[in-house]
A and B are shown apart, each in its own frame.
Chain A
Amino acid sequence: KLYSNRYEGDQVLRIIPSSHVEIQLLKQLFQNMTVDFWQPSSTSFIHMGSSVDIHVGRNSTGRLKAHLQQTHIHYEVLIPNLQKEMEKQAGYRSSRKRR
């Protein structure tokens, strides 16, 4: 398993805040939760209408999604399982090499 399977269950979510209230809620949320910002590179760049792509560890996805649902902040799951995505891509390379 790539990277000792550390990304199993990790997800990448996309949030597009649609109000200043949502922006503030997100900033507060990410102060108390460790996520890996893919885009933008930090909370200070969160703006209305701009995508926020975050890599969330498997132990935090449930809590984060629950919080987003409670605060009616819409999100989209870009990558449902990072480990599987990486393994899939590695598999394509192996089969290409075999061919």
Chain B
Amino acid sequence: SEFQYDYEVYHPLEEIQSWMFEMNRTHPHLVDMFSIGRSYEGRPLYVLKLGNRKRLHKKAMWIDCGVHAREWIGPAFCQWFVREAVNSYLHDSSMRRLMNQLNFYIMPVFNVDGYHYSWKTDRFWRKTRSKNAKYHCRGVDANRNWKVKWCDEGASLHPCDDTYCGPFPESEPEVKAVARFLRKHRKHVKAYISIHAYAQMLLYPYSYKYATIPNFDCVETAAQNAVRALYSAYGVRYRYGPASTTLYVSSGSSIDWAYKNGIPYAFAFELRDTGYYGFLLPEALIGPTCMETMRAVRAIASGLLKKC
């Protein structure tokens, strides 16, 4: 019987993982599932590789969702992206071209321990769930734990703070696993996208300082095209620009690390909304949010195929 999965509801971790297995089983020509390591609490860190397997040495795009546990629209989008990519491969020529010429690495839930905790205990948990020897507080902000100006401005050294940078860079096994994977594949990965909520923004480096990146023209154009594509769906406006000026200065972020690691296009999306619902974005808005974001991500992916 046909596998039924509702992409317009939020799913707990176990359901997302079952869905990943099912996508891997039913689309072997386009989907490859693998694990890049284990979380602090021992959960596997699954990634789906999407793309036509016949071609080798393709450029790649990495998308991770759920770095912050309470931002549930993130994992919902990652699942939506995978569904759209595989379902439209046959009848959508532009998606087929993207899947033929690029690989997409999709990590639907980055912070698996935190996400599980947000379903079971604390809906508004943000950090990972690692323990601290000296304090009763748990967790590290996975978007302050990367090795780029680590624990400088915009991050906290106190374990009880929500922006705690951790005892050292890449202390979190989740961050270490993704960093290791991206370092290993740095030759092919040309775009890094991290999905967050909420603010309706598209951000690029730098987060840790007020400065312009060397390839500003190309990245700014890509961002402009992306928000324009997003707007074309439902008329929703996203602000865009360097994270330090558009949002705030923060050190140790994944987009800064990805950029420093040689990935020329590094973006963080802050999805809907702007505060009316905040982290409690209703399920009725999952569809529109994901549809518009899909257009933006496709615009970025299409840009990778052009020279800039």
Given A44-B154, A53-B275, A92-B282, decide whether A39 and B163 contact each other with a Cβ distance below 8 A: no
Given A14-B275, A92-B283, decide whether A36 and B124 contact each other with a Cβ distance below 8 A: yes
User: By the criterion CB–CB under 8 Å, are A39 and B275 in contact?
Assistant: yes
A44 to B126, CA, bound (A): 17
Given A7-B123, A93-B9, decide whether A42 and B163 contact each other with a Cβ distance below 8 A: yes
User: By the criterion CB–CB under 8 Å, are B163 and A78 in contact?
Assistant: no
A41 within 8 A of B: yes
Interface of B is mostly: loop
Identify the closest chain B residue to A47 (Cβ): B248
With beta carbons under 8 angstroms apart, the residue of A12, A86, A93 that contacts B123 is A86
Rounded to whole Å, the gap between the CB of B269 and the closest CB of chain A is 15
B220 within 8 A of A: no
A78 to B122, CA, bound (A): 20
A21 to B162, CA, bound (A): 25
Identify the closest chain B residue to A78 (Cβ): B275
Identify the closest chain A residue to B126 (Cβ): A41
User: By the criterion CB–CB under 8 Å, are A53 and B156 in contact?
Assistant: no
Residues of A in contact, count (CB < 8 Å): 26
Contacts of B154 in A (CB 8 A): 42, 44-45
Contacts of A44 in B (CB 8 A): 153-154
A55 to B136, CA, bound (A): 22
Identify the closest chain B residue to A38 (Cβ): B278
User: By the criterion CB–CB under 8 Å, are B121 and A53 in contact?
Assistant: no
A59 within 8 A of B: no
New A-B contacts (7) at CB < 8 Å, excluding given A38-B279, A39-B198, A78-B276:
A36-B162, A38-B124, A41-B163, A42-B161, A44-B153, A47-B248, A92-B284
Interface residues of B in 143-164 (CB under 8 A from A): 153-154, 156, 161-163
A70 within 8 A of B: no
Identify the closest chain A residue to B121 (Cβ): A3
User: By the criterion CB–CB under 8 Å, are A51 and B280 in contact?
Assistant: no
- Give chain A's interface residues, CB within 8 Å of chain B: 2-3, 7, 12, 14, 36-42, 44-45, 47, 51, 53, 55, 78-79, 82, 85-86, 89, 92-93
Rounded to whole Å, the gap between the CB of A23 and the closest CB of chain B is 13
A93 to B199, CA, bound (A): 25
Residues 101-145 of chain B, each 1 if its beta carbon lies under 8 Å from chain A, else 0: 000000000000000000001111010000000000000010000
Given A3-B123, A37-B162, A92-B283, decide whether A45 and B278 contact each other with a Cβ distance below 8 A: no
Residues of B in contact, count (CB < 8 Å): 27
Which of A7, A39, A79 has most B Cβ within 10 Å?
Answer: A39
User: By the criterion CB–CB under 8 Å, are A78 and B278 in contact?
Assistant: yes
| Sample of 11 A–B contacts (CB below 8 Å) | A41-B141, A42-B162, A44-B153, A45-B154, A53-B278, A55-B124, A79-B277, A79-B278, A85-B277, A89-B280, A92-B284
Contacts of A2 in B (CB 8 A): 123
With beta carbons under 8 angstroms apart, the residue of A12, A40, A92 that contacts B278 is A12
Contacts of A89 in B (CB 8 A): 280, 282-283
Rounded to whole Å, the gap between the CB of A5 and the closest CB of chain B is 12
Which of B124, B198, B247 has most A Cβ within 10 Å?
Answer: B124
Which of A41, A45, A82 has most B Cβ within 10 Å?
Answer: A41
A40 to B275, CA, bound (A): 11
A2 to B250, CA, bound (A): 34
Interface residues of B in 253-267 (CB under 8 A from A): none
Identify the closest chain A residue to B161 (Cβ): A42
Contacts of B122 in A (CB 8 A): 3
User: By the criterion CB–CB under 8 Å, are A93 and B283 in contact?
Assistant: yes
Contacts of B282 in A (CB 8 A): 89, 92
Identify the closest chain A residue to B278 (Cβ): A38
A79 to B198, CA, bound (A): 15
